[in-house]
Amino acid sequence: MSYDAILFNNILGRLCALESVSGLVATSLSQFSDSTGQGLGGVQDGTNKLFTVAATNYQAGSLIATVGNNTYSAGNGLLETSPSTGQFQFVDAPIVSDLITVYYSAIDTGVINISDAGIHAENSSVSLDGAVDGVNTLFTTSRTNYKPGSTLVISGGNVLSAGNGYTESSPGNGEFTLDVAPTIGQVVQIIYQDENATGIITKVDSTMQGIVGIINDVNQTFQVSNGAYQPGSLYAVVAGNYYTAGNGLTETSPGTGSVTFTVAPTVGDLMYIFYQLP
């Protein structure tokens, strides 16, 4: 798995964590992320190899794990020992200090997923409409429309952004168009905000839609479109780099929606800001 793909899944995992307070339950096949201290079952003592995902089940073949700086999948460092009960086993026991993060698809049994508050994740193997045949470039989300500027797409292991790898060709119809047709066997994924969602807890702003502030190599402070955000909930992706409070950015004023980056974004950088509403 590429760094970009891991970054994309980290975004999904952060969204899952943000939605964990919503008290809603999903009923369809969705993507989940568990980690050490956040839903993952199993003792991490340097000896134990057997762990359990929080959803208590997962789709066979969908599980990917990162342990420290290493990435594993079924047959490559881990075994999907019991998808129906959520169990999997590492070939080598993780050491105590390693952070374990697991990504998987599952039928929800009470664990909150990112679809509960207007943020959705889909892929070409499940709900995203469009043929992956080496020719087709047009794909359609299962929702009738998405908020312009809120999309992130991963195609063939590469994370793309609107205007750089794909076009938000018709947000009102849920359509987007890739610059290059994915080949047979590749997977296309998208996360986006539903334009018609109500009761949204998590929002996505971007340089194309919502973020207030000039990207000019000097300015470091920006404001989210909502005018306020929940302290501790904000993170950003700038030019493919992932930032959180204390790690590349400061939540300078959650009450007024301001955030300050340690280093000023460069002209041409694409910025996404994810945050929880207060």
Residues 80 and 142 in one domain: no
Q: Which two tokens stand for residue 100?
A: 């374990």
Q: Is residue 20 part of a domain?
A: no
Q: Which two tokens stand for residue 58?
A: 């997962």
Residue 249 CA to chain centroid, in angstroms? 19
pLDDT at 152: 79
pLDDT at 144: 73
Q: Is residue 1 part of a domain?
A: no
Q: How far apart are CA 171 and CA 186, in angstroms?
A: 24
Residues 75 and 49 in one domain: yes
Q: Which two tokens stand for residue 160?
A: 């793309």
pLDDT at 41: 87
Residues 187 and 213 in one domain: no
Structural domain of residue 163, as residue ranges?
Answer: 114-193
Among 86, 107, 128, residue at a domain's last position: 107
Bridge-based pairing of strands 158-162 and 165-170 is: parallel
Q: Is residue 71 part of a domain?
A: yes
The answer for residues whose C-beta is within 8 angstroms of residue 115's C-beta and 6 or more apart is: 26, 28, 30, 121
Residues 236 and 166 in one domain: no
Q: Is residue 4 part of a domain?
A: no
Residues 178 and 208 in one domain: no
Question: One digit per residue, pLDDT tens: the chain, 278 residues?
Answer: 333 444 444 455 444 443 333 322 233 445 566 777 767 889 999 999 999 987 777 877 777 888 877 878 888 889 989 988 889 999 999 998 888 888 777 654 333 334 334 666 677 776 788 999 999 999 998 877 888 877 878 887 677 778 889 999 999 999 999 999 999 988 888 877 777 765 545 677 887 778 999 999 999 999 998 899 888 778 887 876 778 788 889 999 999 999 999 999 999 888 888 887 77
- Beta carbons within 10 angstroms of residue 127's beta carbon: 15
Residues 103 and 120 in one domain: no
Q: Is residue 12 part of a domain?
A: no
Q: Is residue 270 part of a domain?
A: yes
pTM of this structure: 0.50
Long-range contacts of 45-51 (CB under 8 A, 24+ apart): 45/93, 45/96, 46/93, 46/94, 46/95, 46/96, 47/93, 48/93, 49/89, 49/90, 49/91, 49/92, 49/93, 50/81, 50/87, 50/88, 50/89, 51/87, 51/88, 51/89, 51/90, 51/100, 51/102
Number of domains in the chain: 3
Q: Is residue 221 part of a domain?
A: yes
Q: Is residue 145 part of a domain?
A: yes
Place of tokens 């974004």: 265
Residues 173 and 221 in one domain: no
Among 83, 107, 131, residue at a domain's last position: 107
Among 172, 193, 214, residue at a domain's last position: 193
